[in-house]
Amino acid sequence: MSNNSAVGIHDLSFATTEFVLSHEALAEYNGTEIGKYHIGIGQRSMSVPAADEDIVTLAAAAAAPIIAKHGNERIRTVVFATESSIDQAKAAGIYVHSLLGLQSACRVVELKQACYGATAALQFAIGLVKRDPDQQVLVIASDVSKYDLDSPGESTQGAAAVAMLVSADPALVRIENASGLFTADVMDFWRPNYRSTALVDGQESVQAYLQAVEGSWKDYGEQGGRTLEQFAAFCYHQPFTKMAYKAHRHLLNYAGFDTDKDDIERAIGQTVAYNTVVGNSYTASVYLALAALLDQADDLTDRPIGFLSYGSGSVAEFFAGTVVPGYQQHLRTEANLEVIARRKPVDYAGYRELHERSFPADGGDHPTPAQTTGPFRFAGLSGHKRLYQAR
């Protein structure tokens, strides 16, 4: 295998939570007109973690089917992207490494830059595989998005994990070399160490996102990237699905194209299906968009897809991937639909109770109630240590 061989996403799997809160239940509680959620932000429900679920259990559940299919002999690196980290020192991926029984000859790291982190992980993984095409890299994006109860951000919460196996000669998507980059220091969304919920300036965040779309697209062109009309579809980071439409309209305007409603729907429409019902999964969101697109599109063989990954604060990247012939034989469509369908509806009071759960910081024994039916559970804290179980 030469160092110039194609590298990209060989397999992709995702997981979400045990519970789901419908936006109807939220609207009924707070008196909001349901159209504000269904149409205004383009959301229908949000995934809610059980008391014994967190970014580790979601990540392990997302990655387990990939390990079951491909084995772990070639995986010498795990990159875990998250912005809802559980520890300031130890990478969450080490717990996942343990739960999945990965080999000890493996590096594991955690990456952080708001919702952009998983794209950094993917790009770093590609570099490692190009250096040694016999290796594979497990990239995991896992997040629980949490805002204050009764705050404007509450309706955009969600949780999910996406696992991707990055390899040479990938079966799903070849990632192209050209990448457009953009960084700006803005305070649109952040979470200080002393807070469990994020702070967000909604208006500022939309503007910062659109500025990043312009900046990363401009740089992508300067790096010799494709022209806009070549793309079959676009996967955007979706803090709420309406943002993808807003961003694509802005990109078309910026690039001097008409913003035809049908064209926008063709470019974006099939990418929002999972995010609409899962809510904002932060780092996982743009790759949940890819999963939805691949699962629903008729045939994308040899067609390029545009990716716009945005992380508040802010960093963005625009890059392209080409869908590999035969990709449809490697999709996990039924499993993906089942992951979403298996969630149990929770009422507003039940969701609120889960949202308000926290652990004393006394280092005592604090078991979690057994709620999840997933393959892994967060069993609780003891001696300041997190305990995990495979079921």
Which residue is it, tokens 């910062």? 208
Contacts 24+ apart (CB under 8 A), 241-245: 241/41, 241/42, 241/43, 241/272, 241/275, 241/276, 242/40, 242/41, 242/42, 243/206, 243/209, 244/268, 244/271, 244/272, 244/289, 245/42
CA distance 48 to 232: 33
In the 3-class helix/strand/coil scheme, how is the chain assigned residue by residue? CCCCCCEEEEEEEEEECCEEEEHHHHHHHHCCCHHHHHHHHCCCEEEECCCCCCHHHHHHHHHHHHHHHHCCCCEEEEEEECCCCCCCCCCHHHHHHHHHCCCCCCEEEEECECECHHHHHHHHHHHHHHHCCCCEEEEEEEEEECCCCCCHHHHHCEEEEEEEEEEECCCCEEEEEEEEEEECCCCCEECCCCCCCCEECHHHHHHHHHHHHHHHHHHHHHCCCCCHHHCCEEEECCCCHHHHHHHHHHHHHHCCCCCCHHHHHHHHHHHCHHHHHHCCCHHHHHHHHHHHHHHHCCCCCCCEEEEEEEECCCEEEEEEEEECCCHHHHCCHHHHHHHHHCCEECCHHHHHHHHHCCCCCCCCCEECCCCCCCCEEEEEEECCEEEEEEC
Q: Which of 143, 120, 122 is nearest to 58 (CA)?
A: 143
CA distance 252 to 271: 17
CA distance 167 to 177: 15
Treating both helix axes as pointing N-terminal to C-terminal, what angle do 285-296 and 333-341 enclose, rounded to 10 degrees? 120
Q: Tell which CATH classification among 3.40.47.10, 1.10.1060.10, 3.40.50.740, 3.90.700.10 matches the domain 7-390.
A: 3.40.47.10
Contacts 24+ apart (CB under 8 A), 379-382: 379/52, 380/52
Question: What does the pLDDT read at residue 391?
Answer: 87
Here the tokens at position 152 are: 């404007």
Domain ranges of the chain: 7-390
Cross-strand pairs, 12: 164
In the set 23, 237, 250, 355, the catalytic residue is 237
C-alpha 32: how far from its chain's center? 27
Question: What does the pLDDT read at residue 202?
Answer: 82
Which residue is it, tokens 């604090």? 366
* Cβ(318)–Cβ(216) below 8 Å: yes
115 is an active site residue: yes
Which residue is it, tokens 């869908």? 323
Here the tokens at position 328 are: 């449809």
237 is an active site residue: yes
Here the tokens at position 89 are: 């020192």
Amino acid identity of residue 217, one-letter, is W
CA distance 224 to 371: 51
Rg (CA), the chain: 20
Which residue is it, tokens 């967060």? 378
Polymer length in residues for the chain = 391
In the set 10, 18, 97, 115, the catalytic residue is 115
CA distance 193 to 148: 15
Please list the pLDDT of the chain residue by residue as tens digits (391 residues): 344 579 999 999 999 999 999 999 999 999 999 999 999 999 999 999 999 999 999 999 999 999 999 999 999 999 999 999 999 999 999 999 999 999 999 999 999 999 999 999 999 999 999 999 999 999 999 999 999 999 999 999 999 999 999 999 999 999 999 999 999 999 999 999 999 888 988 889 999 999 999 999 999 999 999 999 999 999 999 999 999 999 999 999 999 999 999 999 999 999 999 999 999 999 999 999 999 999 999 999 999 999 999 999 999 999 999 999 999 999 999 999 999 999 999 999 999 999 999 999 999 999 999 999 999 999 999 999 999 999 8
* Cβ(74)–Cβ(128) below 8 Å: no
Could you tell me the pTM of the whole model?
A: 0.97
In the set 83, 248, 317, 355, the catalytic residue is 83
Q: Give φ, ψ of 343 to 5 degrees.
A: -65, 140
